[in-house]
Amino acid sequence: MEKMYFGSIDLSNDCMRRDTALWNSRFGNLRSTTVPLICLLFAVLSGCNTGRPNGAGLPNRVQPQIIATTSLVGDMVRTIVGDRLEVRVLMPAGVDPHLYQPTRSDAVDLLYCPLVVYNGLQLEGQFGEVLQKRKTIGHRTFAVSDSLSNHSIIASQGNIPDPHIWMDASLWAICAIGLGEELAAHFPDHAAAFRRSAAEYAEGLRKLDAWAYDSLQTVAAEQRVLVTAHDAFRYFGRRYEVEVYGVQGMSTASEAGIADVNQLVQMVHLRSVPAVFFETSVSKRQVQAIVDGVQAYGKSISADHTLYSDSLGPAGSGAETYHGMMRSNVVTITTALGGAALSNELDNLTMNLK
Ligand SMILES: [Zn+2]
């Protein structure tokens, strides 16, 4: 039975509530904006048989055979597909997938692309309507999270799933195998190549997973406490035995939020947690509040560290691939908390992985 490492403060529903609230609020937007757009698309389509609305006024460009939503899903798709098919990744590095709203041209492409691959578990909250419409007209969509068994998914008491599955590299490996099968079924001319690429990619992820676990175990158990801006690290915490706390997951800009921040300051102070972590795609304000609160007790705390959570890094950052992102996060967390990432094994990983 898997142990859960969520710490002594009950934060277990915060991100779920945030995701649910975002989901609910965004569906209102989708109904008011995406549906008329889809009606327009069908009106255009009714006058032609090409499968695409040529008269929609969109610029000519290479049409993708696969669209991936997030940068993380896109990295998996591109690694498996290689240059065999045209792949488009909608969200650039640094974009928050909870908030990303498809543009008009995104919506057109999403509707007519032969295959759309997304994370699922309500991560892409703004995409629900257009993906549902694809299904209605018989176009294939594939959520990489569908490869996981229900017991793998962390859920709130209200049974709202946590979508941040990529934070556990062993789960991401299962998703890669599932994607390989989907691609093989959808593009049978490349079936053998896609299955082989997916298997190689998954094997690399399993090595990365083992390296991450071993590296984090060099941190003393009582020091393995991860305080981040946004509570996206539950899967990471469960897999690598780290207590995780997300500041922004607590209610924002409210009395209760202030009380929760104070509670977290107390925890960090009393346990002498040596570092807290910013995230690239989230405001620094809440984590800075923890730093200020701890320093008010006369304690020093390191706040020089930034993690990649819901997005890859930009080109040249070293975190522009999934492997690079995980390596960066594990090295940052391990060293900041007093451990030592296993550099020899990392060198081997770096040689074998993109
Ligand atoms: Zn998130």
Two tokens at 93?
């590095």
Distance 279 CA to ligand 1 centre (A): 11
Distance 176 CA to ligand 1 centre (A): 20
Assigned domain for 7 exists? no
Do 172 and 244 share a domain, yes or no?
no
- Region label for 334, one of left (φ > 0), alpha (ψ between -120 and 50) or beta (otherwise): alpha
Provide the residue count of the chain: 354
User: Can you tell me the distance from the alpha carbon of 209 to that of 176, in angstroms, rounded to the nearest whole number?
Assistant: 14
Assigned domain for 309 exists? yes
pLDDT by residue (tens digit) across 161-212?
899 999 999 999 999 999 999 999 999 999 999 999 999 999 999 999 999 9
Distance 350 CA to ligand 1 centre (A): 27
The domain spanning residue 165 has which CATH number?
3.40.50.1980
pLDDT by residue (tens digit) across 227-273?
998 788 999 999 999 999 988 763 233 333 677 788 999 999 999 99
Distance 130 CA to ligand 1 centre (A): 21
Give how many domains the chain has, as a whole number.
Answer: 2
Assigned domain for 197 exists? yes
Distance 62 CA to ligand 1 centre (A): 31
Do 229 and 329 share a domain, yes or no?
yes
In three-state secondary structure terms, 68 is strand
User: Can you tell me the distance from the alpha carbon of 102 to that of 306, in angstroms, rounded to the nearest whole number?
Assistant: 27
Start-to-end C-alpha separation, the chain = 33
Which residue among 170, 188, 209 closes a domain? Answer: 209
pLDDT by residue (tens digit) across 273-302?
999 999 987 778 889 999 999 999 998 898
Do 248 and 182 share a domain, yes or no?
no
Distance 250 CA to ligand 1 centre (A): 13
Do 143 and 187 share a domain, yes or no?
yes
Do 205 and 274 share a domain, yes or no?
no
Do 184 and 224 share a domain, yes or no?
no
Assigned domain for 278 exists? yes
User: Can you tell me the distance from the alpha carbon of 317 to that of 2, in angstroms, rounded to the nearest whole number?
Assistant: 34
Distance 112 CA to ligand 1 centre (A): 28
Which residue among 209, 238, 272 closes a domain? Answer: 209
Which range among 35-39, 151-155, 192-196, 307-311 shows the weakest confidence by mean pLDDT? Answer: 35-39
Do 198 and 224 share a domain, yes or no?
no
Assigned domain for 144 exists? yes
Q: 305 to each of 30, 158, 268, how far by Cα in Å?
A: 36, 33, 16
Distance 290 CA to ligand 1 centre (A): 20
User: Can you tell me the distance from the alpha carbon of 326 to that of 172, in angstroms, rounded to the nearest whole number?
Assistant: 11
User: Can you tell me the distance from the alpha carbon of 255 to that of 11, in angstroms, rounded to the nearest whole number?
Assistant: 16
**Domain encompassing residue 248:** 219-352
Distance 123 CA to ligand 1 centre (A): 7
Do 190 and 223 share a domain, yes or no?
no
Do 345 and 224 share a domain, yes or no?
yes
Do 157 and 284 share a domain, yes or no?
no
Distance 291 CA to ligand 1 centre (A): 22
Q: How far, in whole angstroms, is CA 18 from its chain's centroid?
A: 15
Largest CA distance in the chain: 72
Which range among 212-226, 229-243, 336-350 shows the weakest confidence by mean pLDDT? Answer: 336-350
Is residue 261 within 8 A of residue 287, CB to CB? The reply is: no
Which residue among 209, 228, 263 closes a domain? Answer: 209
Do 133 and 282 share a domain, yes or no?
no
The residues facing 51 across adjacent strands are none
Assigned domain for 182 exists? yes
Distance 163 CA to ligand 1 centre (A): 7
Assigned domain for 64 exists? yes
Cα–Cα nearest to 281, from 251, 309, 253: 309
Distance 238 CA to ligand 1 centre (A): 16
Do 131 and 153 share a domain, yes or no?
yes
